[in-house]
């Protein structure tokens, strides 16, 4: 017998859920939480339950229409539940076709291969410069001129290299949209030739070698936090990256082996490298160990080696650069520049280039050699790091005599 709307309306929940049938397989399941339109069917021998919605939001008449459509699909050999999910996906994709939505989807697909720092930089380009201009535009309607206008505004701000990076990212998003069927073509293709010439590569600044003695003496008399003075000298002695130093914890120091093991999670590179568990090893010179013992008196009882004024937080990214500026070297030396300074002097003094590159934690450009050369060259690097420390301290007037250069 067919169900009536009055029966559906007057149905009250009981101790247990029960069904009111409509005679064609459609039924209203009455529960304490509400009334639900359902149909039990079999597809390829498997029992399934199709849901049509909640009464009275879905009326009896509408439920019957939905039910008939589902029965017709089964008769045609189509699973109505799968068809329903497919339509929901299509509806979602049709709504998420703005440039911003597609760009977010593209970035999410790339995250596993990006370092955290690179991901932050890419996100910043989109949120600061790209999305405010074309983010709300349907990607299928985005024109080459609109993209070029976005980059022109960046050029007007003097952003130089960032303009090329932004255009490259926009192009990848447009290509992703074309491949996924949400745009007919890549609207950014070929636009790079209309940009201003790329600015010359900027190298991290570092001082002339003749300035080293004066510089070290000025750092020794630095009047700020002792952590900042020690951080500046250690980053010069060990030439690690700023982020690796700032995140350092006391558990990374092996006093007995006289090495500093920087965890893979703190290293620059892809998430694959970070997940590898391979630390970057820094052999510690006598001078570095003395500085660490001094630092231990200030932060030894805390997890972070370079804790700032705020308890539980490391010194900021610009702490060392500010210290350099305060002693008059802001224009001549940057934190990252210590790496270039060390590389230049060590190469000039005949140290093995592979050992230097290994100490800088640079990835070998030769993929074959990178796959098979797992040597750490620790013995060479230990000698090299002590020579480097003696060299620096001799420039400052220390009575420590540098070791004879260990040539390759």
Q: Tell me where in the chain the CATH 1.10.150.130 domain(s) lie.
A: 99-194
Is 42 tagged catalytic?
no
Tell me the range of 117-121, 310-314, 388-392 where mean pLDDT is highest. 388-392
Higher pLDDT, 332 or 269: 332
Could you read off the pLDDT of 249-269 as tens digits, one per residue? 999 999 999 999 998 776 555
How confident is the model over 101-122, as a mean pLDDT? 82
What is the C-alpha end-to-end distance of the chain, expressed in Å? 96
Give, to the nearest 10 degrees, the angle between helix 378-395 and helix 286-299.
80
Could you read off the pLDDT of 19-51 as tens digits, one per residue? 999 988 999 999 999 999 999 999 888 899 999
5-94 is classed CATH 1.10.3720.10: no
Is 206 tagged catalytic?
no
Is 362 tagged catalytic?
yes
Task: Report residue 314: phi and psi, to 5°.
Answer: -75, 165
Beta bridge pairs of residue 260: 253, 282
122/103 Cα distance (integer angstroms): 11
Put simply, whether the predicted model's pTM sits higher than 0.85 gets the answer no
Is 339 tagged catalytic?
yes
pLDDT given for residue 390 in this prediction: 94
CA distances to 191, 192, 379 from 131, in Å: 18, 19, 51
Catalytic pick from 169, 241, 246, 395? 241
Could you read off the pLDDT of 130-170 as tens digits, one per residue? 999 999 999 999 999 999 999 999 998 888 888 999 999 99
What is the second-level CATH architecture of the domain 99-194?
Orthogonal Bundle (1.10)
Is 372 tagged catalytic?
yes
How confident is the model over 324-349, as a mean pLDDT? 83
37 CB-side CA count, 13 A:
25
Higher pLDDT, 387 or 275: 387
Q: Which of 292, 301, 208 is nearest to 245 (CA)?
A: 292
Q: Sign (positive/negative) of CA torsion 265, 268, 271, 273?
A: negative
In this structure, the number of other CB atoms found within 10 A of the CB of residue 366 comes to 10
- Residue 271 pLDDT exceeds 50: no
Compute the mean pLDDT over every residue in the chain, rounded to the nearest whole number.
Answer: 83
pLDDT-derived band at 53 (thresholds 50, 70, 90) equals very high
Catalytic pick from 258, 271, 298, 377? 271
297/187 Cα distance (integer angstroms): 60
CA distances to 9, 12, 35, 71 from 60, in Å: 10, 16, 11, 16
Contact of 8 with 28, CB cutoff 8 Å: yes
Q: Tell me where in the chain the CATH 1.10.443.10 domain(s) lie.
A: 209-395
Contact of 267 with 244, CB cutoff 8 Å: yes
pLDDT given for residue 368 in this prediction: 38
Q: Tell me where in the chain the CATH 3.30.160.390 domain(s) lie.
A: 5-94
Cis, bond preceding 63 (omega within 30 deg of 0): no
Catalytic pick from 14, 322, 362, 369? 362
Two tokens at 256? 């007995």
Topology at the third CATH level for domain 209-395? hpI Integrase; Chain A (1.10.443)
- Residue 370 pLDDT exceeds 60: no
Could you read off the pLDDT of 192-236 as tens digits, one per residue? 888 887 655 444 556 777 888 888 888 888 888 888 899 999 999
Catalytic pick from 38, 62, 214, 336? 336
Higher pLDDT, 271 or 6: 6
pLDDT-derived band at 367 (thresholds 50, 70, 90) equals very low
pLDDT given for residue 314 in this prediction: 82
Q: Which of 288, 248, 291, 292 is nearest to 267 (CA)?
A: 248
- Residue 350 pLDDT exceeds 60: yes
Higher pLDDT, 324 or 32: 32
């Amino acid at each position: 017998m067919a169900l009536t709307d009055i029966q559906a309306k007057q149905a009250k929940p009981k101790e247990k859920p029960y069904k009111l049938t409509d005679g064609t397989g459609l039924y209203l399941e009455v529960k304490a939480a509400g009334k639900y339109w359902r149909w039990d069917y079999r597809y390829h021998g498997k029992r399934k339950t199709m849901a049509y919605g909640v009464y009275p939001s879905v009326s009896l008449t509408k439920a019957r229409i939905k039910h008939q459509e589902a029965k017709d699909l089964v008769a045609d050999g189509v699973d109505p539940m799968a068809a329903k999910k497919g339509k929901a996906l299509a509806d979602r994709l049709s709504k998420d076709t703005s440039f911003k939505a597609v760009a977010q989807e593209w970035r999410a697909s790339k995250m596993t291969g990006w370092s955290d720092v690179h991901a932050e930089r890419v996100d910043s380009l989109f949120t600061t410069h790209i999305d405010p201009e074309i983010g709300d535009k349907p990607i299928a309607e985005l024109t080459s001129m609109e993209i070029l206008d976005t980059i022109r505004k960046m050029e007007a701000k003097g952003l130089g290299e960032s303009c090329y990076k932004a255009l490259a990212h926009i192009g990848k998003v447009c290509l992703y949209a074309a491949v996924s069927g949400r745009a007919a073509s890549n609207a950014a293709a070929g636009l790079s030739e209309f940009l201003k010439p790329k600015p010359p590569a900027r190298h991290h600044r570092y001082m002339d070698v003749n300035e080293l003695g004066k510089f070290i003496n000025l750092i020794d008399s630095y009047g700020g936090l002792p952590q900042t003075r020690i951080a500046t000298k250690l980053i010069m002695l060990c030439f690690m990256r700023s982020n690796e130093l700032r995140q350092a914890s006391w558990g990374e120091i092996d006093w007995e082996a006289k090495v500093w093991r920087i965890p893979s999670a703190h290293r620059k590179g892809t998430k694959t490298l970070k997940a590898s568990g391979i630390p970057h090893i820094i052999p510690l010179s006598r001078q570095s160990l003395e500085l660490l013992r001094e630092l231990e008196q200030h932060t030894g009882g805390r997890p972070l080696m370079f804790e700032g004024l705020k308890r539980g937080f490391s010194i900021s990214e610009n702490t060392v650069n500010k210290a350099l500026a305060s002693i008059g070297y802001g224009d001549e030396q940057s934190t990252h520049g210590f790496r270039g300074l060390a590389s230049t002097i060590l190469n000039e003094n005949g140290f093995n280039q592979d050992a230097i590159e290994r100490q800088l934690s640079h990835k070998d450009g030769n993929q074959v050699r990178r796959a098979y050369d797992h040597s750490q060259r620790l013995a060479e690097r230990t000698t090299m790091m002590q020579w480097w420390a003696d060299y620096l301290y001799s420039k400052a007037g220390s009575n420590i005599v540098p070791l004879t250069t260990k040539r390759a």
